[in-house]
Every structure is written in structure tokens, then in C-alpha cells.
Structure 1
């Protein structure tokens, strides 16, 4: 029979009328559906938070504020032993924060207050001090071990309850201690800060002490090396007869001091004398060659004579003009001129001899000095060679002396700096006695408990969603079944017949939407023979079969409803009639259909009940009997709607599906698991049934998280038609 009408062809509309909602909408649907589980888990978590807060021991925190500087105040200007750090170097402060939590500080505090022997200290932190030999030394030789064990317990308690809170963008840090005793918190916090400052000073003193010890050893080594190098220099000078009379400083960019020797001073003096002798010889030669006597620069006597002759010559000239040559005055003047000329000639000769003698003396002196300088050159070169070696010894001694002086100065500076005793850590605010407990905080605990409850609820919901294979969301039907969703039938508390009798009810509107889609499901309209099946019993297939047949009959068509669920018939109960004879009788060979059909008052549809329950319903369905029944009914009715049995576990539904044109599959929302539904659909398809799609029944929109979006009565106040809206039809 399923070959009579072809399934939806190319001209049929898309049957996928319910698209998968967005992911966020799906998640919201899950939250609403599981809201009571989430509310319950969160409520239990909050209740647990309140109970835990009530039973928690009150804790008090007392903090001391410290200022940590990179460098302490400098009373004396002495370089630090530690390398300088950059201005924005955060490693320094991170190191200080780590040092604040060092075990050595805890040990210092524990020893200061003798906490290892304090029973009250352990009882304050909930340590059982009533156990045997907890605070008493045992007599079996393990006293030291037990005391060390108690001491380690104290160190762990101090470290676990210490709070280090740096103040952001500052040099301040708060160091606090948390305990059930406010006085103990104050005492430990202040003691911890004092211990930290003491440790800083001790570390600086230890570094200075180590530096002094190291420098003392190095100074002793350098002193011995300096003495050895100076002794070597002196021995070399004595053995080589090197006598230095002082030092001279050489100029230039890098000035240095050089030792002066006797040879160098001698040759310098001789060079100066030789230069002077050469100058004297050159001057004498120049005076001799230039005949300086004739130029009147030879002496005062010659000049005087020449002046007297000039006077006499003038007088003689005057007399010669006035008197004759034989005149006595003229003769006397002439004789006086002759005497003066002879005296001048004698003086000139004497002066010339003197210039020659001076020149010879200058030449001889120059030659003598030249010979001496040449003689000192050889000795000076030998002295230079020796002075080079001596300079090596001397530079070694000078270097050792410089290093020794530098280390000695640093040793003195460290000695001064170590005695100052200033720390780079300053207490800004000491710890006060706390007046109110810092914990437990009810609102914080409730927030944490609520967050933990939400996380636990999320995990539970995810686990339930992974375990739960029920299909609750209409948008998941096609994805999980690979079949189109033709309609969604809402859940109702009233009798389905009463709902169907009301044309404005939600269920009536839902089935009208289904009818509209059936009208366009094939090229010939609503299939004339249609079976309704499900995965299991109680999913609403009988109600769906009655609703489809009832609405078709109300449209003026002749419809018959056949109850083919012979194992568990329910149509007669739904309508309220007796089940005397029906489908099982016909399949058994009784073909008097007119006697079996029931026409009930108030129902527009005729009914063929299931009839007596046969021993094996599948045997009656094997063969052409069911197909013949449908064919026979189609001779008298326009539509035949068959209420088929569930398809899981029985062969009845596939056999019936093969005998009709099309099959509708009813699926209860949040009913059977998805894998069971897929198996049922596979059985129907494998049996040759022409599946039109799936109908979701008993859908509760309020529990699914969709609210009015999937509720009926949306928009017009009555029945929101999914099928019509999706198919493009008017409501």
C-alpha cells in the first residue's frame, strides 16, 4: 500500500520546519530545565558555607609596616659592598619579600619566645599537646630528636600563618601574623620585623667582616711583594752604581715621572757649555772678519785718539788757511797729527792681535768641550741601558705600592662603614593589638560557597546532560533522529477529547498545524492511509491518531480510525466504547467490516476497535491481510488512520507500516532515549515504511526553558501555529 502515493517530491515544501536554536539559547534551555537541581546544589553550598563559618575559629591578624630602601642612610661617604642595582629593578624588592619569609627569621622568633616549649602556643593552633611526651623529654635518649621535632612544628606554624603584603608602587610592605590570639599575633608580628632588621644588619656586618678578613690577607701578601720588589730595585741600583738625584715630570696627555742620573745632568751641562763656546767662537770670528776696529767699535781708547786727531786736523786746517806752512803754529799742528796717527796705528794693531787671540781661545774651548761631550755619550748610553732594567724594577715596585695603598684605603673605609650600624629597613608602624577578627568573613565565605556551588551544579548538569539521552528540545529532533519534525503537541492536564472539542485550545491548534503539514507532505495531499506509531507505550500515539482522524472528519471527510494495537488496545478506552470485535477478527478471517465498525455519538469519525487479543498478533499481520483491510476500508472512506503498536521489541509496527501509504512517528518529549528512538525509526524504515516525520508530544515549554516562545496562545491569544508559521501558511 505504501506505493500508492509517493512521498514528498521536489515540489513539496521543506519539511525541516524546526531549526536548531542558537547555542546560547540551548544552554539557557538546559539551565531552565535543570534549574531546581542548580538551585538545590547552590542552596546546599550556601548552607554549608554558613555552617562552616559558624564553626570556624576566629582569626586575628596584626601587621607591622616596614619601609625597605635600596640603600640606607650614609653617615660616611663609603661605597657599598653590594653591586648597585638599576632604578627600576624589581628583583631587589622581590628578594626582600622572599627574605621576609625566610626560615631563619622563624627560627629567630621561635628561640626568642621559647615557643618549642610553650604548650599554650601549640594549643592555640589546635595541635594536640596532651599526647604523651609531647613537651617532656623522653628518657630513652631521643630528647634532642623530640625537641627538634617540636621546633620544626613551630617553624611550620609560623610560616603558614605569616602574611606578607607589599604596598603597590611604594617601598612599603606589611608583615602580619594570623592567629586565634590577638596578643600573640601582635607579639609575633613585631618580633618578626625586629628579627628582619637584625638579620639585615648581621648580613651587612658579616659581609664587612668577610671583606676585612679578605683584605687583611691580601694586604699582607702585597706588603711582602712590595718589600721584595723595592729590595730588588735597590740591589740592582747598588750593583750597577746607578745614582739618581731626583725625578722629572714628563708632559703630554699622560704625564709620568722619570728618574734623573748624574750622567744625564753632566751631559746636559756640557751641552749647554758647548753651545755657548760655539756661540763665542762664531762671535769672535765674525768680529775678526768684519774688521770691527775700523768701524770704531774696538775700544774707548781708540775712539778717544780718533776724536783728538779729528780735533787737531780741524785746527790744522784752520791754521793752514790763515798761515803758511812754515808758521810755527801750523808746524806744531802738523807734528801733533803725525804723533796721533802713529798712536792710532799702534792701538789698532794691538786690538787686532786681541781679536785673533780671542778667536783662538774660543776655538780651543769649543774643541775641548766637544771632546768631553763625545766622551760622555758612551757612558750615558751604558747608563741608559742599565736604567731601563732599573726602571722595570722600579715600575714593579711602584705598581705594588699603588695596589697596596688602594687596598689599605678600602680596608680603612670598610672598617669605618661597618661600625656605623644603619639598616635600609625602617619600621613605619608597629603592630597594634587587633580588636576585631579578620576571619571568618560570612559574606566572603558565602560568595566562595556560592561559587563552589555553581561550579558543582555546572558539573552535575553537564554530567546529567551527557548521561541523559532523552530528547527535550524540538530543535534537537532532526539532529538526533535524522527525521523532520512535523509538529509539537503541548502537555495538557485535561482530557485530550475535551481539548480537541475546544477549537481554541492549545492542543487543537497544534494538531491543526500538523494537519496543515500533512496536507503538503505529498503531491496528493494528506495520505489516504496513515499509521501512527511510537517507540514505546504511553507516548501519545493513540491520542495523535484520534486527533488526526477527528480533525479530518470535522473537515467534512469520511474517516475511519483503526486500532491495530491488538496487544494493548487503547482507542476504545479513549473514546469510551466497548471492544467486542474489530481488527483481530478481520485479520483472523471475519470480513464483515460493517458489523465491526462503530459509529459513536459526538464523534465524527468511525472506529474499528482492536477486537479480542490474539495469541500472536504478528502472525495475523504477516501476509496481505492488513493490506487488504486497508484497501477494503478505503472503498468506503476517504482516509484510514491506523493506531499502530510501538515499534520496539515487536514486529507489528513495521508490518503495519508496510501496509499503509505513510507513517507518523510520535515521540514523547523527555521520554525514550535518543538511541531507542533511532532504533525504532530504523526498524520502521527497514520494514518498508514511508516515514513522513516525527511528532513531539507532551511538550512542556516551561520546563524546557523556552517559555512563551514555544508556548501556545502566543501572538493572537490562542494556539501559536508552528506548522503553519514554518510552512508559510496563515494561522
Structure 2
């Protein structure tokens, strides 16, 4: 298909093509004219996800995740935000809307939710690429309502963001308050138990006092061990004195006994000399024997006295050992009691400290929750408020008319060629050559349609047209 043929077809079917072009363009123009005018108003907020929280002191990790912006978009387009926006716009007080709700739903369901779904249809929340800004785009047939709705949705979102942050904090605050009261009661009960225990014992047990009593017990134990050694020595001396008084160290070491024994030895020596020289019946010998017997009686008496003194000393040592053992047992019992009291007091004191630490931790968390529940704003702030647009955003008259013209032209060309397909005509010399399988010898230009003169060129050509079908010579 050549360009000459295309122009020939359009030239032949110009009327149908023109009618099609005008019809399509007129339909598009009429549709554009009949379309309702829509206005777009935009407002925006900025999310502060980098600055630290003024209460917690650190930025939340979830705020920097990619899903955070998508979550905020879902919050903006939620029914909860739409209901708040409807209340801000006071749409729940419009009787016409309530009548429409009654008509469409029969009074079933929530009127506020129905209004929220109606006004939510014109909202579009869109995050700006590469930034923390979210734009509220609202489309309406009324420019003032579009601006008011965009601002209302922005304000409703800000309020909801604060509520989403403060409501859990308020709930946690109530729970922390109840827990703090419980822990405070436990702390006071533990403190009362510790005070009652100290008053019951009548003293305040400290580590220093326990150390003093323990040192005293150690000293008594050392003295008792030493006294046991003394007692063992005293028992051996007593046993030796009772079994062999003359071999007893106490008897042997006594100066009186030593002196008497020396006198006895001298008297025995003198008696032996006198007896051998004078005989046993001599008065001097008898006198020596009497003196010697007296000395031996004194020796025996003195030995018994010494043995008795050893027994008395042993009894005294035994009594002292018993007293020291009693004192040691008493001190050991006292130390054990002090340690038991200290351990019990330490357990009660640990309970008091644990209760106090738990109470302090809950109190600090409760204070943070209280501050969070009273926070005036979340990590989002308004950036721009919407104003009534100066002109409609749709329909776009120029674009629609241009599109209608292009569409009409395409359809006109398509219709012309469709008709040509079902009603084929010879349009060019090429078509004739293809049909007759002959080469053309020349062409006659087209003349305007004027009354032909007799014998003119036109009549000669018209008369000669049948000759075209004659066979070639």
C-alpha cells in the first residue's frame, strides 16, 4: 500500500471520514463538558524519626524501618481517622447525610462509620519518595470542602498518632500504679517484720558484734585447751602421788621432805656407827633409833600432806576446767544464736531491700509512663495546610480535546479504509496496471466539471473510454 493510494482513499472517502472525526471529537467534547468539575487540595505532615524521644531519650528502632511509612499510610486511611475527620467537619450533624444513610442501609450499622467511608473515598495519602513527608490529597467537587477535608484528615491523623502513643501509656500507668501499691505494701510489711524482729531480740545485730563474740569464743577455746593440758598434768601428778608418794615429783621437790630425808640419812649413818661400836642396847643407840623413828613419822606426815595438796590442786584445776567448759559452751551458744539472729535479720533485710528495689523500678517506670501519657504530641508535625484550589483539576479540557481529535482522526481513517475494503475502486494508475497486467502509456490530468462543448476533448475522452477494454493490437 503506497502513500498515493492512502491519499486517494481519503480523498474519495473524505465525507465519511470528516463525519466520523467530527462525531468522535464532538462526543469527547460533550463528555468533557458534562463531566463534573473536581478540585484537589493537599496538606502534608513531616515525621520526625531521627530525633530522640524527649522522654525515653532514644529514637525508636521501628521508626526507621521501611514498613513504618506504610504503617502510617494505613493509619491515615483507617476508619478511625476518617471518623475523627467527620467529627471535625461536623458531618455527623448534617440531616441530609443521615437521611442518605437511612435510605442506603435502612438504619443498620453505625452512622459515623458510614460517613467515614463516604468521605474516605476522596482521600489519598502519598509519601514523598526519599523523604519523611506524607501528603494528604483530597478530591471533591467543592474546592472549599476539599481544603477543609484535607486539613481535617491531617488534624485527625495528628490526634490519632498522639492517642496511639498515649493510650497504651495510660493503660500501663494504671497497671504500674496498681503494681506500685502492691509492692509498697510488701515493702512496708517487710520493714515492719524487720523492726518487730529487732525489737523481739532486744538488740541490733551487726557484723562487728558477731566478730567480737567470735573472737571471744576463740580465746575461750584456746584457754580451755590450755586448761585441759594443765588438768592432764594434774591428774598424772595425783595418780603418781597416790600410787608412789615417795616417787612423786611434788614430794621429791619439796624442801621440807628433802631436809627430813637428809636428817634421816645422817641419823641412819650415825646409828649404824654407834650400833657397831656400842651395841643396840646402848642409850645413845636407843635415842638415835627414837629420833630416827620420829623423823620417819614426820616424813610420812609431810608426804601425806603433799599428796593431799596435790589432790586439792587437782580438784581446783578440775573445777576451773568445768567452769571454763561451761563458759565456752555458753559463749558458743551465744555466738550461734547471734549468727542465727544475724542470718535471719539479713534475710529479712534482703527482703526489705528487694521490695524497695522493685518499688523503685516500678516507680521510675510509672513516672515515665505518666510523662508519655501526658505527651502533647507525637513524632509527627504538620508541614503545610491545604487551601481552596484556584481551578479544577479535572476534567482536563485541553488534554481531552486533543485526545478526542487524535481518536477521531484514527477512527475516521480506520472507517474509510474499512469501507474501501468492502467497496474496492480503481484509484490510481498502479491499480489499473495491476488489474489489466499492462503498462500505462500516459495519463490525462483531471479537469474541473464544466459543460463540455460539442466536439471538445472531454466528449472525445468519454466516447473513447470503452476502447480501454479493447484488446491491444
Q: Is the 8 A contact 1:73 1:422 kept in 2?
A: no
Q: What is the correspondence of 1:84-483 to structure 2 with a 5 Å cutoff?
A: 84-86=60-62, 88-118=64-94, 134=99, 146=107, 151-234=112-195, 241=201, 243-246=203-206, 260=207, 262-268=209-215, 376-377=331-332, 379-385=334-340, 387-442=342-397, 445=400
Could you say which residue in structure 1 is the equivalent of 2:271? none
1:438 aligns to what SS in structure 2? coil
**Residue 263 of structure 1 contacts residue 376 of structure 1 at CA under 8 Å; is this kept in 2?**
no
Deviation digits for residues 586-620 of structure 1 (CA, Å, limit 9, x no counterpart): xxxxxxxxxxxxxxx967xxxxxxxxxxxxxxxxx
State how far apart, in whole Å, the 2-side matches of 1:231 and 1:215 are. 24
Are the equivalent residues in 1 in contact too, given 2:81–2:156 (CA < 8 A)? Answer: yes
CA distance in 1, matches of 2:166, 2:159: 10
- Find the partner of 2:431 among 468, 492, 511: 492
Instruction: Give me the whole-angstrom Cα distance separating, in 2, the residues matched to 1:438 and 1:432.
Output: 14
5 Å matches for 1:619-630? none
Question: How far apart, CA to CA, are the structure 2 residues paired with 1:270 and 1:495?
Answer: 139
Distance verdict in 2 for CA 1:153–1:236, change over 3 Å? closer
The number of residues matched between the two structures is: 328
Q: TM-score, normalised by structure 2?
A: 0.53
1:435-584 matches, within 5 Å, as: 435-442=390-397, 445=400, 492-494=431-433, 499-500=437-438, 502=439
Please say if residues 86 and 115 of structure 2, whose CA atoms lie closer than 8 Å, have aligned partners that are also in contact.
yes
Whole-angstrom CA distance in 2 between matches of 1:114 and 1:172: 28
- Residue 93 (structure 1) shift: 1.9
In 2, Cα distance between equivalents of 1:180 and 1:190: 16
Residues 176 and 362 in structure 2, CA contact (< 8 A), matched pair in contact too: yes
* Deviation, structure 1 residue 392: 3.4
Give the drift of 1:268.
4.1
Residues in 1 aligned to 2:402 and 2:334: alpha-carbon distance in whole angstroms: 103
Judging changes above 3 Å, is the alpha-carbon distance between structure 1 residues 71 and 194 closer, same or farther for their aligned structure 2 residues? farther
Partner Cα separation in structure 2 for residue 147 and residue 72 of structure 1: 46
Displacement, 1:452? Answer: 9.9
Report the 3-state secondary structure (helix = DSSP H, G, I; strand = E; otherwise coil) of the residue aligned with 1:134. Answer: helix
- The 1-side partners of 2:33 and 2:77 are apart by 31
| 8 Å contact from structure 1 (residues 44, 453) kept in 2 | yes
Q: Distance in 2 between matches of 1:373 and 1:43?
A: 128
386-395 vs 95-104, which moves further: 386-395
Alignment check: 8 A CA contact 1:225 1:400 kept: yes
Whichever structure has more helix as a proportion of its residues is: 2
Could you tell me which runs of 5 or more consecutive residues in structure 1 were left unpaired when the two chains were aligned: 1-34, 123-132, 247-259, 276-367, 469-489, 506-573, 577-600, 604-731
- Indicate if the aligned counterparts of 1:263 and 1:383 stay in contact, CA closer than 8 A: yes
CA distance in 1, matches of 2:217, 2:135: 84
Aligned pair partner of 2:32 in 22, 43, 53: 53
* Runs (5+) with no aligned partner, structure 2: 1-9, 223-322, 422-428, 443-467
Aligned residue for 1:154, secondary structure, equals helix
Q: 1:227 to 1:495 in 2, by over 3 A?
A: closer
Does 1 or 2 have the higher relative contact order (CA < 8 Å, sep 6+)? 2
What is the Cα deviation at residue 439 of structure 1?
A: 1.5
Give the C-alpha shift of residue 379 in structure 1: 3.9
SS of equivalent residue, structure 2 residue 99: coil
Decide whether the 8 Å contact of 2:44 with 2:385 is kept in 1.
yes
1:223 shift after superposition: 2.3
Q: CA deviation at 1:205?
A: 3.3
Kept in 2, the 8 Å contact 1:186–1:432? The answer is yes
> How far off is 1:42 after superposition?
10
What's 1:634 paired with? none
Conserved? CA contact 2:167–2:373, under 8 Å: no
Q: Do structure 1's residue 65 and structure 2's residue 44 form an aligned pair?
A: yes
User: Structure 1 residues 43 and 408, CA, compared in 2 at 3 Å: closer, same or farther?
Assistant: farther
Q: Give the 3 Å change call, closer, same or farther, for CA 41–371 of structure 1 in structure 2.
A: farther
Residue 426 of structure 1: SS of its match in structure 2?
strand
C-alpha distance in structure 1 between counterparts of 2:110 and 2:361, whole Å: 51
Does structure 1 conserve the Cα–Cα contact (< 8 Å) formed by 2:85 and 2:152? yes
Cα deviation, residue 92, structure 1: 2.0
Q: What does residue 129 of structure 1 align with?
A: none
Aligned equivalents of 2:208, 2:405: Cα separation in 1: 98
- Any conservation in 2 of the 1:271–1:373 contact (CA below 8 Å)? no
Q: What is the DSSP-based 3-state SS (H/G/I as helix, E as strand, rest coil) of the residue aligned with 1:221?
A: helix
Q: CA deviation at 1:179?
A: 1.1
How many Å separate the matches in 2 of 1:379 and 1:48?
114
Measured after TM superposition, the shift of residue 108 of structure 1 is 2.0
How far 1:46 sits from its partner (Å)?
6.9
The verdict on how the C-alpha distance between 1:406 and 1:451 changes in structure 2, with shifts beyond 3 A counting, is farther
Stretch of structure 1 that moved more, 371-380 or 392-401: 371-380
8 Å CA contact 2:79–2:113 kept in 1: the answer is no
Deviation string 1:295-330 (CA, Å, 9 cap, x unpaired) is xxxxxxxxxxxxxxxxxxxxxxxxxxxxxxxxxxxx
Q: Aligned partners of 1:370 and 1:100: how far apart in 2?
A: 88
Residue 602 and residue 188 in structure 1: after superposition, are their counterparts in 2 closer, same or farther (change >3 A)?
closer
Q: Is the 8 A contact 2:205 2:341 kept in 1?
A: no
SS class of match (2:41): strand
Q: Is the 8 A contact 2:40 2:146 kept in 1?
A: yes
SS in 2 for 1:492: helix
Q: Structure 1's 97 and 495: CA in aligned 2 closer, same or farther, altered over 3 A?
A: closer
Q: Secondary structure at the residue paired with 1:112?
A: helix
Label 1:153 to 1:44 Cα distance change in 2 as closer, same or farther (>3 A): farther
> Once superposed, what is the RMSD of the aligned Cα atoms?
5.4
The aligned counterpart of 2:275 is none
Q: CA deviation at 1:396?
A: 2.8
